[in-house]
Amino acid sequence: MKADELRALQAPIKEKYRDNPDAARVVLKAEGRLGEGIACRIETGKAIAEAGLHPSTGGDGSQLCSGDMLLEALVACAGVTCKAVATALDIPVRDGTVTASGVFDARGTLGVDKEAPVGLDAIELTFSLDADATEEQLASLHKLTERYCVVLQTIRGNVPVASSISLQ
């Protein structure tokens, strides 16, 4: 896709949102089903994913780790955003990789050490691109990719999460 094609595709959408800001508020939803064993099945719309315990917490490695899935969501969003921004800036990206990694202390989630944190203590997001771009263009691409990546901004934004539990 070329920059002018992307602009033409998004122009009526942007105009709609300028005229009606409430229309831009999109509800995203994920749902899982608890089943046998220690697992949660998520229907993605394309496939069924089953998450379970990470091997460091007792899993056998046959199920997805939700921490990995979080990083995969970040990589997917950052990758799509990077390609969209590159297209808008007329920076031809032939190929590339996006990698996210993070470390968690299994003692926290297992309750072994009350002082050990639960969750990733840091995330590293890396882009490696095969593109014809100057250092200035690359810096702009990086800055704008970070700015417009929904998952990255959500993680960085310390978004409040409401939680509840009830019986069926």
Output the pTM of the full model.
0.89
Amino acid at 165: I
Distance from C-alpha of 166 to C-alpha of 45, rounded to nearest angstrom = 26
Per-residue pLDDT of the chain (168 residues; tens, 9 = 90+): 899 999 999 999 999 999 999 999 998 888 888 978 889 999 888 888 999 999 999 999 999 999 999 999 999 999 999 999 999 999 999 999 999 999 999 999 999 999 999 999 999 999 999 999 999 999 999 999 999 999 999 999 989 999 999 998
Taking phi over 0 as left and psi of -120 to 50 as alpha, with beta for the rest, 61 belongs to left
- Please answer whether residues 69 and 40 qualify as being in contact, where contact means their C-beta atoms are separated by less than 8 angstroms: no
Q: Which domains does the chain have, with CATH numbers?
A: 65-156 (3.30.300.20)
Cβ atoms 85, 138 nearer than 8 A: no
Cα angle value 108/76/18 (rounded, 5°): 115
